[in-house]
Structure 1
Amino acid sequence: MNRKQTDFFSSHKLYILFIFTTLLITIVGLFIDNFSLRFFTKDALIFTKGWTVTVDHNVPELADLNDYSFECSAYKTNISLKNTIPAGIPKFSTISMPLDLSTIDVYISNKLVYSYGSELYNKGLMVGSGLHFITLPTNCSGENILIVIRPSEDGAFTRLNNIQIIDTNDVYSLFIKQQIAKFFVSVFLFTFGLLLILVGISISIYARRLNVLISVGLLSVSIGLWALTSSKTNQVLQPDFAVNSIIEYMTLYFAPFAFLLYITSFYASMNKTLRLYYLYCVISMGIFNIVAAILHFTNIVHLSRSLYIFYLVCMPIIPFIIILALKANNSSNDNNRKIFSIGSSIIIITSILDMIRHIIMKYIFVELSYDVGSLIPYGTFFFLITLIIGYDLQIYKTMSIEFEKRTFEKLAYTDALTRLGNRAKADNDILDYEKSNKDYIIISFDMNGLKKVNDTLGHDLGDKLLVTFGEILTEVFGEIGNIYRFGGDEYMVLLDDAYFEHIPLCITRLIYLEESRSKDYPFEIDTSYGIARSKELKDSSQSSVYKLADNRMYEMKIATKRQRD
């Protein structure tokens, strides 16, 4: 057998290998996504049946959301979903509902319990996509639920078929379990990309020329961030849906440009025609990124509306990479080029499959209760491990620990009833003042008559009294200080000493709101308070300042009682 025949069969085997590898990655990725979603979804109650759907004031339809397809028009379509909270759910439950580019308002028994996006919608800005966690009132089984949705983009979504009711204590951990494969791959790509960028910059400074690792790192970071935002797993660290959506689209649009920058390392081996083709691809993708960003931030065309234009701009890049990959494999004995040939081919195949997946899942198989997930992160993942092998898997564990830490810190610092900070949060914030040697003010509040309300009107109204007073404190002091509830009928406000002159006006407004809100309820909202400044005491420790405020509050409480007697 001559050399040409040997090269042909070697090349043939190589492409059979990458085709097999691509199919294997696709099957394994889909299996892991499907398995984790199906296995861990059994811990949640699927809430897709029995909905009454009304679109644009048309005749309401009783529907199973698994079988229902929506047609959305930006700033025109109004969708309302009505149902009854099912029996048997945990006392503390949360609805998990993914929603793209739309506002959402949720009412339980005609009371608004969750709202997102109206301000952005009214300003004509892009409303973000995200996984909405809607905390339900305790013991709300059998109550009516109304969900009002207003899409901000044409075709914002076509389905709403993954609504779940979950025990509030398990919300975040169950969410991560259902996204385990995406989370692992996304974190790997992002963190590994940052490492490559740092290493590439160091090498570039030493060698006085740009190193290819920088562009590979940019590609990895872009795909990693895109995968985190598109799968909603980054909500752990960044809960702003609008910011997440901007990151999602900008990283998706930038990724092909980063890949083209990586191909610069093969520029010397290109012929004249291929070089011109390459320059066209780089310039067109660069111009698209710049124009899309300008149009979005000037609020002319949102990034989400540029998606199909992005697909069109990418089309010429696909044959270019295929030609370059074939040329690299056939004309070079360099292992790096052969690796590029395999890796880039896998990225191209997974990208094409992902475009097809997006169209099929959004417009054809809308009845599926789950999305099989993007294949691009898996293709990029394989591309990277073909370049560098043996990356430390401890990254996933580190991110998981940090996620759990942040979750528990939030729970540990929040009062369950009022959602204000608790004593632990107050102690921590005061400690920050003391560490920075800044003067501060403590205002101690105590509810008057809470026990009477509990005994005569019941604990539900007693809880309502506590929540209402927390809302009043937030309205009065929320912009200049922090508000806490210590349990029972004790509240505290922490202010910077610079706001001392504002306190009399704030107290006047507080009293007015107490009297005004009392007219809406069968109970009176009345409190005693005491004010203490840290600069008043030589020993301005946390306990001494709070004790001074507390003593003054009790003096007012006794004086008020004497006046009433």
Structure 2
Amino acid sequence: MEILERNVEKILAVLSLLAISLIFVYIFKNSDASIINWDEEKVNLNINDKVYENLYIDKINVPPVKAGDVVTITKKDFKLSDNNENLVFRTYGSTIDVFLSGENIYSYGEDLYREGKTLGRGYHIVKLRSLGDKTSDLVIKQRIVEDMSYRWVDFFKFTSSNNIWHEILINNVFGIVSGIFLFSLGAFGNLVYVVLFLITKKNNLHLSYSFATMFFIGLWNCTTSGIIQAITGNYEIISFLEYFSIYATFVMYLFLVALIKKKSGKTKAIDIVKLLSLLILIGATALHLSGTLCISKTIMLFRNYALIVLLVLFYTLYIDYKNQKKYENVLLIGNCISFALIVVHIIIHNFNLTEIMDITNDNLITIAVLVMIIIPLFLYFLELDEIEKYEMQIRVLKSLAYIDKLTGLGNRTSGIAYIMDLIKNGFDYYIVMFDLNNLKEVNDHLGHDKGDEMLVNFANCLNSSFSDDYCKKIRYGGDEFIVVAQFDKVEDINDNIKQLFRVIDEVNRDGEKGYSLSVSYGIASSKEFATTGYENVVKLADERMYSYKSEVKNQICET
């Protein structure tokens, strides 16, 4: 089972690394958005009394807004054509009303706004009705419910497609593919981990945290790219899952890094940030559910929080750079890359650098977190090989400590350990003590080589006679051997002893050895004692063995 567990973990680690690498090839090969039939049109933007005329919403530095502001987006003299049968736009934290020819054709969030609840984020899809040859004003009215300094509307396009969600998802192919992949791999990996834990009872936290990190960042990608909205149609769920998943990702990642660096003794800063992150996750969840903390505050908090966390990680990893294992330095490099990408992302969004915002979108954050996932998995894969080397060394040392070199049977230490394990688990057992009758004479007259040969031959006889898995054969010392057996009754022991004497008779038929195997034995059971100590059982078996030996000698003398 250890081999199965080790191989499964290796397969999971290798597949994770290969799949995450190959995903980039697929994404960039299939991310050509030019095939999508989107149409952009110039509109007028009115924030309270300030007017911005004749502009593309996607390409302007959208001004900050405050709670209570009224925003109006107007398309003058709008005429329905083959290219603009549907309007698609994405907003944050605001009520939506769409008017065409003065008629309200789409609404969102008014009831939630009156109840004081948090409004979600997401894509709004408006089916535009035909006006014939007439033109009219298309008006989108937003009531802002929270202060927002970032792009509170970042997608505003028309399309003639009848499969709008397909086009939206294709437009976010990077987030969609990576999100589904990481979410599925994280869920599957944790499922395998749980199964392995139930089978082997071994708790591999490194693997668990790695797959949990994948799961949550995959969930975050699915929310930001639109796939969760396409499935649920619920804006509020998207808002909740967006911040919760990214916070949970950082919490899992911090637990993972702390686990990797546990042996270094320099994890105090990581432990503090880890605890703080967990408290922020719990607190933000409670505040968000109560409506106190809005999505914009959550996003701004996360951006600053992410920078602080990465700075702490950078500092902690850097001060231990010279003392840590060489391949663990990769962790520092990965965090530097992630830190740089997140800084660029924050600069782009905080300064509304719209010229490159459409290109990067949330891809910088996605890549940053992917790096944070790949590196620990890479370290884990390397650590597996190192662990295997240590385990092999331990097995060799155990064999030296527990195996009798001459006979290949277990030695006295392994026998005691085996008995103690039976006692620990509450099992009854029999002990059969064997003693070679004439080993000293063979050593004195034929030499120690013959004596060693005699010991090996008897060990082989024991192996062939007590071949059951629940029989432990031990060379207890010198010419003494014991068998520890988990039989239900003494008759089962006697059957094996009879078989042993038959095997010994077959060995003795070979007269060229110069000696005959002869053995005395005694049997004792743990059931004969009220106490759990093994010493009394061994002592009783030894006494009965010597009684048997004396009886045999007396019979020989009488004869």
TM-score range, shorter chain: 0.5 to 0.7
Match of 1:365 in 2: 353
What is the letter of the counterpart of residue 240 of structure 2?
Answer: I
* Deviation of the 1:54 alpha carbon: 2.1
Say whether the 8 Å CA contact 1:346–1:383 is kept in structure 2: yes
Change (3 A) 1:29 1:60: same
Deviation at 1:108, TM superposition (A): 0.9
Report the counterpart of residue 342 of structure 2 in structure 1: 354
Deviation at 1:39, TM superposition (A): 1.4
Once the two structures are TM-superposed, the CA of residue 178 in structure 1 deviates from its matched residue by: 1.4
Letter in 2 for 1:190: F
Q: Which amino acid aligns with 1:358?
A: I
Q: Which residue of 2 aligns with 1:203?
A: 196
Q: How big is the shift at 1:264?
A: 3.7
- The one-letter code sitting in structure 2 at the alignment partner of 1:350 is S
Q: Deviations over 1:247-272 (max 9, x none)?
A: 0011111211110111243243222x
CA contact (8 A) 1:40 1:177 kept: no
Query: What does residue 296 of structure 1 align with?
Result: 288
- What one-letter code is carried by the residue in structure 2 that aligns with 1:232? G
Is the deviation greater in 368-377 or in 193-202? 368-377
Counterpart contact for 2:151–2:352, Cα < 8 Å: no
Higher CA-based Rg: 2
Q: In 1, distance between residues paired with 2:177 and 2:196?
A: 28
Residue 208 of structure 1 and its aligned partner are, at CA, apart by 4.5
Contact 2:61 2:352 in 1 (8 A): no
Give the aligned CA root-mean-square deviation in angstroms.
3.4
Shift of 1:112: 1.0
Give the counterpart of 2:175 among 179, 182, 193.
182
CA–CA distance in structure 2, aligned partners of residues 312 and 387 of structure 1? 23
Between the aligned partners of 2:365 and 2:151, the Cα distance in structure 1 is: 22
| 2:367 match | 378
**How far 1:204 moved relative to its partner?**
3.2
- The code of the aligned residue for 1:353 comes to L
Distance 1:289 1:327 in 2: 28
Deviation at 1:231, TM superposition (A): 2.1
Q: Could you tell me how far 1:118 is from its partner in structure 2?
A: 1.5
CA distance in 2, matches of 1:359, 1:214: 33
Deviation per CA, 1:373-404: give whole Å up to 9, x if none: 22232244355456669xxxxxxxxxxxxxxx
Q: Within 2, Cα distance between the matches of 1:131 and 1:68?
A: 19
Q: What is the aligned partner in structure 2 of residue 270 from structure 1?
A: 264
What's the CA shift for 1:287? 1.3
Q: Please state if 1:256 is matched with 2:250.
A: yes
Structure 1 residue runs of 5 or longer lacking an equivalent are 1-24, 390-565
AA of the residue aligned to 1:202: V
TM score, norm. by length of structure 2: 0.56
Structure 1 residue aligned with 2:330: 342
Residue 104, structure 1, aligned to residue 83, structure 2: no
Cα distance, 1:201 vs structure 2 = 2.2
Distance 1:151-1:45 versus aligned 2 partners, 3 A rule: same
Structure 2 residue ranges without an equivalent (≥5): 1-20, 379-559
Inter-partner Cα distance in structure 2 for 1:157 and 1:310: 13
CA contact (8 A) 1:80 1:147 kept: yes
Amino acid at match of 2:264: M
Partner of 2:272: 280
Cα distance, 1:220 vs. partner?
0.8
What's 1:232 paired with? 226
Aligned-partner Cα distance in 2 for 1:349–1:266: 19
What pairs with 1:131-150 in structure 2 (closer than 5 Å)? 131-138=123-130, 142-150=135-143
Cα 1:324/1:131, change in 2 over 3 Å: same
Maintained 8 Å contact 2:338/2:372: no
Q: Scaled by the length of structure 1, what TM-score is found? A: 0.56
Aligned residue type for 2:190: I
Q: Which amino acid aligns with 1:310?
A: F
Deviations 1:447-492 (A, max 9, x none): xxxxxxxxxxxxxxxxxxxxxxxxxxxxxxxxxxxxxxxxxxxxxx
Aligned residue for 1:187, secondary structure, equals helix
Which of 223, 231, 238 aligns to 1:244? It is 238
SS of 2:291's equivalent in the other structure is: coil
SS of residue paired to 2:45: strand
1:341-378 deviations in Å (ceiling 9; x for gaps): 43663355234423432342343314667251222322
In the alignment, does 2:298 pair up with 1:306? yes
Change (3 A) 1:224 1:88: same
8 Å CA contact 1:179, 1:233 repeated in 2: no
User: Match for residue 108 of structure 2?
Assistant: 116
